[in-house]
Structure 1
Amino acid sequence: MAYEDIIAEVDSSIEELCKEFRSRPTLFYTEYDMASLFYTLLLRSLPVSTARDRDGCEHLLVHMEYPTPFRCTMSGDQFAIKGDDERTPAGTPYQRGHYAIVVLNPDFIKGYSYELIKAKDYELYKKLVLPHLDRARPAILYGLAFMLHGDPFPLLKEKGGERGEVIDEFIAQVNKGADQLAASKAIPGFMDRTRMLTFAKGGADEVRTFLLKTLSERLEVLLCFSY
Structure 2
Amino acid sequence: MAHEQIIGAVEKSIEELCREFRDRPTLFYTEEDIASFFYALLQHHLSMARAHDRDGSEHFLVHREYPAPFRSDLSGGQFAIKRDDERTADGTPYPRGVYSVVVLNPEFMAQYSYELIKAQDYALFKKLVLPHLDKTKPAVLFGMACILRSDPFPLLIEDEGKEIIDGFVAEVNTKVDHLIAGQSSAGFMGNVRMLTFLKGGADQVRTFLFKKLTERPEVLVCFSY
TM-score bracket for this pair, using the shorter chain length = over 0.9
Q: Is the 8 A contact 2:154 2:161 kept in 1?
A: no
Q: Deviations over 1:162-192 (max 9, x none)?
A: 7522211111111110010011101111100
Matches of 2:150 and 2:197, distance apart in 1: 8
Matches of 1:135 and 1:186, distance apart in 2: 9
The TM-score, its normalising length taken from structure 1, stands at 0.97
Give the superposition deviation at 1:48.
5.6
Q: How does 1:17-96 map onto structure 2 within 5 Å?
A: 17-47=17-47, 49-96=49-96
How many equivalent residue pairs? 225
The secondary structure found in structure 1 opposite 2:33 is helix
Matches of 2:132 and 2:217, distance apart in 1: 28
Which of residues 199, 204, 215 is equivalent to 2:202?
A: 204
- State the partner residue of 1:219: 217
- State the partner residue of 1:104: 104
Give the superposition deviation at 1:219.
1.4
The secondary structure found in structure 1 opposite 2:75 is coil
- Paired AA for residue 116 in structure 1: L
Q: Is the 8 A contact 2:48 2:60 kept in 1?
A: no
Matches of 2:153 and 2:95, distance apart in 1: 32
TM-align CA RMSD? 1.1
The reply on whether 1:16 has 2:52 as its aligned counterpart is: no
Matches of 1:186 and 1:4, distance apart in 2: 21
Runs of 5+ consecutive residues of structure 1 not aligned to the other structure: none
Matches of 1:48 and 1:20, distance apart in 2: 21
Moved over 6 A (4+): none
- Paired AA for residue 210 in structure 2: L
Matches of 1:11 and 1:179, distance apart in 2: 21
The secondary structure found in structure 2 opposite 1:223 is strand
Matches of 2:135 and 2:173, distance apart in 1: 26
Which of residues 166, 169, 185 is equivalent to 1:168?
A: 166
Give the superposition deviation at 1:47.
3.8
The TM-score, its normalising length taken from structure 2, stands at 0.97
The secondary structure found in structure 2 opposite 1:164 is helix
- Paired AA for residue 206 in structure 1: Q
Q: Sort the Cα spacing of 1:84 and 1:110 in 2 relative to 1 into closer, same or farther, 3 A.
A: same
Give the superposition deviation at 1:135.
1.4
The secondary structure found in structure 2 opposite 1:76 is helix
Matches of 1:58 and 1:130, distance apart in 2: 22
Matches of 1:64 and 1:48, distance apart in 2: 14
Matches of 1:49 and 1:34, distance apart in 2: 21
Matches of 2:192 and 2:156, distance apart in 1: 29
Percentage of pairs with the same residue: 64
Matches of 1:10 and 1:185, distance apart in 2: 17
